[in-house]
Each structure stands twice: as C-alpha cells, then as structure tokens.
Structure 1
C-alpha cells in the first residue's frame, strides 16, 4: 500500500497483514473531534468520529488490551488435557449409573413376560434345558 499524503493533522497505522489495509487518524479541530478511518488500498471502508473523551476511552481500551497481552501465559502441563478428559469420563460414568437401573427394570419385565402363561394354557410351560430365561447385567 502506498500511504497517501497526510496533512499535519493526521497519522497512519498500517496493518501488519498488508493487503493495503490501514487506519488513518485525523484531527478535525473545526468539529472538535478525531476521525478514525479504515482503509483498504486507496479506498476508505469506514469512519468513526470520536470526541476527545471517546478517543480517550479508545486509548484506555487499547492500553488495557496491551497490558493483558504483556502478561505471561500460565504454563501448560501436558497432562492437563488428559486430566480433563479423565474427569469428563468419570462424570459421564456417574450419569450413566442411574440409567442402569432403568435398563435392569426393562430386562426384568421382559423376563417376567417371557415366563408368563400364554392365553388359554392351563399348565405351565416347562423350562428349557438351561432353565428359565435370565439376564445378567
């Protein structure tokens, strides 16, 4: 990007990604305002007019964000992810325990139904060679 000439009332900050991107900061004493304009190549893509108080808030916000970037990141243990996954698995296993009771009741009902007498039969059906139907959970 070729930076357009800026009067004594303005400054440019170019985007490090290139592609003609940049921010122009221009002072407008007649409006008692600062104008921030976003540029792509030689085309203005948008502007924001800021009062001195608004501009001070923008500067403060940028300062806070820079301070956050300056803080060192906490060290990352290689086992953090494994610990997190193991904790999640244990939580899911605990959630599954009450469901086991539901399945047990369903299976017990199926066993009871399979042992019931068919309609019109007066004598019980003898158990098969391995005994009555049973399910182990």
Structure 2
C-alpha cells in the first residue's frame, strides 16, 4: 500500500459516508489516457482501478441514470419513505 501523493492537475476527493477516514480519489492522467479511481483509508491507498478515458462516458451515463432513479424515487415516495432501487 502506498502513501498519499498529491493529486494531478485535475482530480478530486470524495469522502465516504461511513467516515472521513475513507475516501474515493478520482484523478485524470491525460498523458496515459486514463482516469484512476482509488480507494483510500487513513491516507493510505487500499486499491485502485484504471479506467480508459473512452470508457468514462459510459460510467457517467450509468451514474446519471442512477441519480435520475434516486431523484424520481425520492419525489414519488416523499422525504419520510426510503426508496427501493432496481439495477438493470
């Protein structure tokens, strides 16, 4: 496992809902044609996934579809009811 390195010019960190010691780091590596998704715990990389730049639009489409479903379910059920999600 490797210690944290500075993010490249384009990147971001997202904290896990379970606690700040866990995070997802997303970094663009244009020179390699990759986006790297890495999982961090206590400032140590626990695992990574290299996604080819040409696959990013499919990932974005899937995330957008999930967001649309979550929003629609929240509107249909109201704020006091937990929505049920289906993955297709």
> TM-score, normalization: structure 2?
0.69
CA shift, 1:5, in A, is 4.5
1:41 counterpart = 2:77: no
1:23 equivalent in structure 2: 24
CA shift, 1:19, in A, is 4.5
Number of residue pairs matched by the alignment:
73
Q: Matches of 1:74 and 1:24 in 2, distance apart?
A: 32
1:55 counterpart = 2:56: yes
Structure 2 vs 1, CA of residues 4 and 32 (structure 1 numbering), >3 Å: closer, same or farther? closer
Structure 2: gaps (5+ residues): 79-88
2:65 equivalent in structure 1: 64
What does the per-residue CA deviation read over 1:11-46, in whole Å, with 9 as the maximum and x for residues that have no partner?
111112214111111111221111010111111111
Structure 2 vs 1, CA of residues 54 and 22 (structure 1 numbering), >3 Å: closer, same or farther? same
Q: Aligned-residue CA RMSD in angstroms?
A: 2.2
What does the per-residue CA deviation read over 1:96-127, in whole Å, with 9 as the maximum and x for residues that have no partner?
xxxxxxxxxxxxxxxxxxxxxxxxxxxxxxxx
2:76 equivalent in structure 1: 73
Which has the higher Rg, Structure 1 or Structure 2?
A: 1
Q: Could you say which structure has the higher helix fraction?
A: 1
Q: Which has the higher contact order (CA 8 A, sep 6+)?
A: 2
